[in-house]
Amino acid sequence: MKPVICIEMIYPGIKPEEKIEKIKQAGFSWIEFWDWTDKNIDLLYSSCHQFNVKVANFSGQRHGCLIASNTHHEIFFDLKHAIKTAKILNCPYLMLLTDELGEEGVVKYNYTEISAKEKYDNIISGLEKAISLTPGSITLVLEILNTKIDHPGYCLDNMDTAVKIIREINYPQLKILADLYHLGVMGHDIKQIIKQYLPEIGYIHIADIPGRHEPGTGKIDWKEILELLKAERYNGFVGFEYSPAHDSDESLLQIKNLWKSVFSE
């Protein structure tokens, strides 16, 4: 397993390139982010090269909804450009969402006129087309988000539907992004998900519950979760996508200590 730090919510107010240096100083070698269009990719690449940091994951789409077929062209346009950026950064994963998010993660369009079945069918057809555009060196990961706190109206808010989608399409480079914060908020048993659905999971996100802060600030025993992932032989990325409760430096130290408590070697 490899720990990844999401640069979006930590160290607010400083440039991504400066965040990379701080993350490396804290002892981490992998980062992820959301939007590639609001960043200077040349500077990002240079900073990663300078500090020997790699990019594991970022968003493959910023516009369009998988649930609405008349917007699929927007997704594919974004995805083509995201793939070009991923090749520059040698990034192996791209995230996809079922809905387009606006400011503060608000779902922009609910499409109440589209039936649940049609939305599902549109997701399937959209993902199949996305796969056809994506080289085998990149894995697409479909993210489940919670609708109780952060993203009301988001379509894919449960593990069962996500697993059904992945199994129906049955393509090696299409997996679930299992954000354990979002799944926990939705009432899922995190340990049971790991035990039951690990073959369908391609990437993991962590933030504590409640608050979406760093591990150790909420009620989840993350040492136990990481030990379970280790026992189940998960060998992928674990992205820490969180908003620091107080100090960003201190939050990274907490994560480093947590990781060392499980992976002492």
pLDDT at 57 over 80: yes
* % residues pLDDT > 70 (the chain): 100
Q: What is the pLDDT of residue 245?
A: 97
Q: What is the mean pLDDT of residues 2-12?
A: 98
pLDDT at 203 over 60: yes
**56-214+226-249: CATH number:** 3.20.20.150
Rounded CA separation 231/6 (Å): 25
Contact 7, 33 (CB under 8 A): yes
The secondary structure of 157-168 as a DSSP string is --HHHHHHHHHH
Closest residue by Cα to residue 245 from 236, 232, 254: 254
Rounded CA separation 99/111 (Å): 10
pLDDT at 129 over 80: yes
* % residues pLDDT > 90 (the chain): 98
**What is each CA distance from 201 to 19, 64, 204, in whole angstroms?**
28, 24, 7
Q: What is the pLDDT of residue 104?
A: 86
Q: What is the pLDDT of residue 265?
A: 56
**What is each CA distance from 249 to 12, 13, 211, in whole angstroms?**
12, 14, 18
Q: Is the pTM of the predicted complex or chain greater than 0.75?
A: yes
Per 3-state DSSP, the chain is made up of helix, strand and coil in percentages (nearest 5) of 45, 15, 40
pLDDT tens digits, one per residue of 29-54: 999 999 999 999 999 999 999 999 99
DSSP 3-state of 249: helix
pLDDT band at 103 (very low <50, low <70, confident <90, very high): confident
pLDDT at 212 over 90: yes
Rounded CA separation 110/108 (Å): 7
- Where are the domains positioned within the chain? 56-214+226-249
Contact 154, 100 (CB under 8 A): no
Q: What is the pLDDT of residue 264?
A: 79
pLDDT at 237 over 90: yes
